[in-house]
Amino acid sequence: MITLSENLLYIAFVLYLLSIPFFGGAIKQKKNLGHQQNSSKSANIGIVISILGFAAQLGFFFTRWSIAGHAPVSNLFEFTTFFGMCLVGAFIIIYFIYKTPLLGLFTMPIALLVIAFASMFPTDISPLIPALQSDWLHIHVTTVALGEAILAVSFGAALIYLVKVIDQTKNSKSTTWLEVVMYGLIATLGFVIVVSAFSFADYKAEFNWIDKNDNEAKVEYHLPAIVGPNQGELLTAERMEPLVSVPGIINAKKLNTVIWSFGAGLILYAILRLILRKRIGAALKPLTKNINLDLVDEISYRSVLIGFPVFTLGGLVFAMIWAQIAWTRFWGWDPKEVWALITWLFYAAFLHLRLSKGWHGEKSAWLAVIGFIIIMFNLVAVNLVIAGLHSYAGS
Amino acid sequence: MNQVKCECGHVNPHGTILCEACGKIIEDGTQITAEAVIDMRYEGSARRSQTYNKSMIDKIWNFFSSVKVGVWLIIVTLIASSLGTILPQEMYIPNIMPVAEYYEDQYGWFGRLYYDLGFHNLYSSWWYLLLVASIGVSLVICSLDRVIPLYRALNKQRVIRHESFLQRQRMFGTTSGSVNEKSYELAIQQLKKKRYHIREDNGNILAEKGRFSRWGPYVNHVGLIIFLIGSMLRFVPGMYIDEVLWVREGETKVIPETDGQYYLKNVDFKLEVYDKEKDNEAFGDALDKTGMVAKNYQSDVILYKTKGNTVAGEEPELEEVDSSSIRVNEPLKFEKFALYQVNYKLDELSKMSFLLTNKSTSETFGDITVNLYDPEKVYELGNGYSVQLMSYFPDFEFGDDGNPTTKSKVPNNPAFVFKMFSPEKPEGEVSFVAIQQTIEPLGDNEYKMAFNGIETKDVTGLTVRKDLTLWIIGLGGLIFMIGVVQGAYWNHRRIWIQRKGDEVWVAAHTNKNWFGLKKEIQLVLAGTEINEPSDQLKDNQVDEGETD
């Protein structure tokens, strides 16, 4: 049963991957066609494959639910895969409203990246600690994921907008920042590749080290140690000695992973630039030739309008109700709570700027990008780095 | 106040930009007339902040009524909030050393700086609260400044609009030549099918729907204000109670803040962990990796209420009210109170027993059991043997002066000074007994108190909570959600179909989702002789479409 469940996730992953070239093909075919025309055959195939993938992932979700006895949204792997699934779901719905295959070409890779990223964390089915044993787990967490996924669609649309609107004939702040965003996505891919490669090679290196309270401790690296732990002593034979070591207050293992990811990202990015001989943004630009700018702006904005109430409901309202039940108070300034508030404040500012200050188009697109970065920060950094009451969600 | 009369006859308040009734541009602003599409925000109504700027109150009003100021307040609050997550807040650090030292010890100079800047208690700092309060003020003033004129303008709008108003709508188109009445009928029918409210005046049509979505922002702001007021009420005495209650198994304790009305007995505390054998076998791998995982924290308790009036000092008469289990996520509720399972201590020492033993012969002369919460003074063993407990230190340590003392009343490390009486030593021998040590301060003794076992009890840590602000906060949250959904999921759409000379003019406006509006116009005008209006901003990057 567990194998079946995991296989369903693989199938979903492969189907999502397969859908991308079809969405790409749809753009090539659709010379000079607006959104109102009948969608092309290629796009139809793409969306059908996406729906099949979505169904497979739903299968993964519910089989895992029945095995575990609780909704699989209780650790970082489960939550992040669910977030990826919601992203695909949100895309499918918006596709049927606006019929834009280009959105698939941008959203599906992001969803894939999210799911691949999730799979780098322990995938064991874990029992629920007492604080999590509540129906609010299902209600709160799924609503948050859905809200964030809808907001992520606005990021996908914003990216299309930026790729199309930014003038690539000359160097500017906009071209640079767009490259930074592209690099961020590539570095995530770098993380996935590096972790998978060394995990496949079964790389393990154990260290003795001295923690910040001057106690001896052991740590096992799964990547070669560029950054070693405080006064680290390599125990495993034939493994790379760390190049530098950091004070005990810093988590050397996580820092090492971050350095590996950004390094691998940099190499991938450099290779891409060498092959393409132009900026990534410039290379993607031709894909957006036939898209109507107003339309993607509207998709991006509407996603925020739809996602914001859902996020508020899940991330703040349901969160507060559950916190009152489980932790005796509805609000406790736990880092995860604070970052949910920050996300909410940010999108509130986004809506005010758009409605009252007339921040449309490019400005609005950049805001959608920043919003997505904040969401990802709350998902990744707050779980893995800041850690608080919600840290059981990490690993 | 000088009011402005429009050529259509409607009298507008001072400061109006577009006539409330017909939409004609009233101010002589050359800027406005130069643009192809008029700014429809707030329907061009007269807003106090845009009209007056004389007195101090005007200035404060104008400052807070600006959305720009509001957005800046949000951004500053957002950045300030993020600063508080760099290091843990004071409430989350362990209570092992003075706070300032802890931050320096754990995080070096940065921790020190963090503490000195007051970031360890950022969310209750005066400046953070001031920021939140400013947002509150901004919410009220921004809303009042806009909602009243907007209401006037939408309420007073006439069906027939001025030509300049129609021409400068984003969606505008004309149809020349005669349009037959059937086209009109069909358009009206199709508008009705789309749930438009239709007003007609002399063959002109104003179709409108979803106006209530314009009130969404103001409804959600009201919700937020209620929420903020609710969270301030916590500081009113009696509204909010946050107490800790530790109860040992078997013990009955008064519940704090209930005026001695309620008592709680801890019957049993349970800590259960997941078991690989008995629980879901799917958890096996995870349990192998992480080791022990808690499954349940539970206190089985009995809740009592005092009967009648009790005189101070007298044991109250208790009546059982409820008998239940408090678990995480399942607090026990009574009246306005809730008791939450938040903490525990396993195996706290409760009793210790000793054997009075002759050191040379190892012969014993009876055992005593000391109740560590409430020890007796003298333990009689018969046959001329007895033990007197001279001093008791529940949480023993040596004080600064070298004498034994106790850190607390909790028996974490009990120590005793016994005086042992026997037929041989009727004056008694003094012995100091602590865990794993015995001191005989007055020379060698013939007898000793030999350790003979312990009994332990679990202690449960509960939070006693009363929060009378919850319903206000909940109400605020509910109103906010209603308002935000109202504003986000519905659109205010208006379509004007008007006869101007021998032409038919169509104009349309929406506060958002122009794509949806265009599709709807297509459907509404399908099969009629009326031309679809075109988007005057199409392919124009500098669009200024949405209002609100």
pLDDT in tens, B492-510: 999 999 988 888 899 999 9
To the nearest whole percent, how much of chain A has pLDDT over 70? 94
**Is the Cβ pair B329, A134 closer than 8 Å?**
yes
Query: Does residue A321 surpass a pLDDT of 70?
Result: yes
B446 is a domain residue: yes
Chain B interface includes A34 (CB < 8 A): no
Outline where B84-170 has alpha helix (H): 99-116, 126-156, 163-167
**CB atoms A333 and B123 under 8 Å:** yes
**Neighbour tally for A179: CB within 10 Å:** 17
Q: How far is CA A371 from CA A293, A338, A381, in A?
A: 20, 15, 15
Whether residue B375 sits in one domain with residue B310:
no
**Is B147 found in the same domain as B18?**
yes
Position A34 confidence tier, pLDDT thresholds 50, 70, 90: very low
The neighbour count for residue A362, using CB atoms within 10 Å, is 17
Rounded Cα distance between B429 and B424, Å, is 10
Q: Quick one: tokens of B491?
A: 């659109």
Same-domain pairing of B250 and B382: no
Q: Answer with the one of B452, B475, B493 that is the final residue of a domain.
A: B452
Share of chain A above pLDDT 90, in %: 63
- ipTM of the predicted assembly exceeds 0.85: yes
State whether A130 and B327 contact (CB < 8 Å).
yes
Residue A289 phi/psi, 5-degree rounding, is -55, -40
Nearest to A68 among B75, B282, B331 (CB): B282
- The neighbour count for residue A166, using CB atoms within 10 Å, is 19
- Cβ B328–A127 below 8 Å, yes or no? no
* A249 contact B CB<8A: yes
pLDDT computed for residue B217 by the predictor: 93
Q: Do A317 and B481 touch (CB under 8 A)?
A: yes
Last-in-domain residue among B138, B153, B168: B153
Does some domain include residue B492? no
Nearest-angstrom CA–CA distance, B235 and A181: 45
Same domain, B141 and B47: yes
Residue B372 shares a structural domain with residue B334: no
B263 plus B316 within the same structural domain: yes
A126 interaction partners in chain B (CB closer than 8 Å): 283, 286, 290, 293
Q: What is the pLDDT of residue A33?
A: 46
Please indicate, yes or no, whether residues B8 and B143 belong to a single structural domain of this protein: yes
- Listed as ranges, residues in chain B with pLDDT below 50 are 29-34, 539-548
Contacts A–B by Cβ distance under 8 A: 155
Q: Do B512 and A124 touch (CB under 8 A)?
A: no
User: Residue A158, Cα to own-chain centre: how many angstroms?
Assistant: 16
Minimum distance, in Å, between the CA of residue A303 and any CA atom of chain B:
10
* Min Cα separation A284/chain B (Å): 21
Q: How far apart are CA B358 and CA B264, in angstroms?
A: 44
> What's the pLDDT score for residue B312?
67
**Interface contact B488-A309, CB threshold 8 A:** yes
CA distance A87 to chain B (A): 20
Helix (H, G, I), strand (E, B) or coil at B111: helix
Same domain, B325 and B409: no
Number of domains in chain B: 3
The pLDDT value given to residue A392: 47
Are residues A302 and B513, on separate chains, in Cβ contact within 8 Å?
Answer: yes
The reply to whether B340 and B261 lie within a common domain is yes
Q: Average pLDDT in the A70-77 region?
A: 91
SS3 content of chain A, % helix, strand, coil (to 5): 70, 5, 25
**Residue B539, in any domain of the structure:** no
Nearest partner of A26 among A48, A11, A57, judged by Cα = A48
User: Which of B66, B107, B142, B329 should be substituted to probe chain A, the one whose Cβ sees the most A Cβ atoms within 10 Å?
Assistant: B329
Which of the four pLDDT bands, split at 50, 70 and 90, describes residue A391?
low
How far is A108 from chain B, CA to nearest CA, in Å? 24
> HSE (CB half, 13 Å, CA atoms) of B260?
11
**Chain B residues whose beta carbon lies within 8 Å of the beta carbon of residue A354:** 546
Q: Within a domain: residue B234?
A: no
Segment 128-147 of chain A within 8 Å of chain B by CB: 129-131, 133-134, 136
Domain check: are B301 and B361 in the same one?
no
Question: B544–A249: do the CB atoms touch at under 8 Å?
Answer: no
CA distance readout (Å), B196 to A182, B128, B547: 45, 47, 20
Separation between Cα atoms, residue A321 and residue B16, nearest integer Å: 45
A127 vs B91, B279, B537: nearest CB? B279
Range of the domain at B50: 4-153
Within 8 A of A334 by CB-CB distance, chain B residues are 92
Is A134's CB within 8 Å of B512's CB? no
Q: Which residues of B touch A212 (CB under 8 A)?
A: 106
Per the domain annotation, does B493 fall within a domain? no
pLDDT of amino acid A384: 74
Q: Residue B474 falls within a domain, yes or no?
A: no
Cβ atoms within 10 A of the Cβ of A26, count?
Answer: 24
Domain termination residue (choose one: B125, B153, B181): B153
Q: Do A338 and B84 touch (CB under 8 A)?
A: yes
* Residue B115 and residue B40 share a domain: yes
Does residue A330 surpass a pLDDT of 90? yes
Chain A residues whose CB is inside 8 A of the B297 CB are 130
B360 plus B329 within the same structural domain: no
Query: Do the domain assignments include residue B329?
Result: yes
Q: What is the pLDDT of residues A280-312, one digit of tens each?
A: 999 999 888 888 888 899 899 999 999 999 999
Which chain A residue lies closest to B475 (C-alpha atoms)?
Answer: A317
For residue B470, the chain A residues in CB contact (below 8 A) are 324, 330
Distance in Å, alpha carbon of B364 to nearest chain A alpha carbon = 46
Distance from CA of A131 to the nearest CA of B (A): 6
Q: Measure B369 CA to nearest chain A CA, in Å.
A: 37
Quick check: is B229 in a domain? no
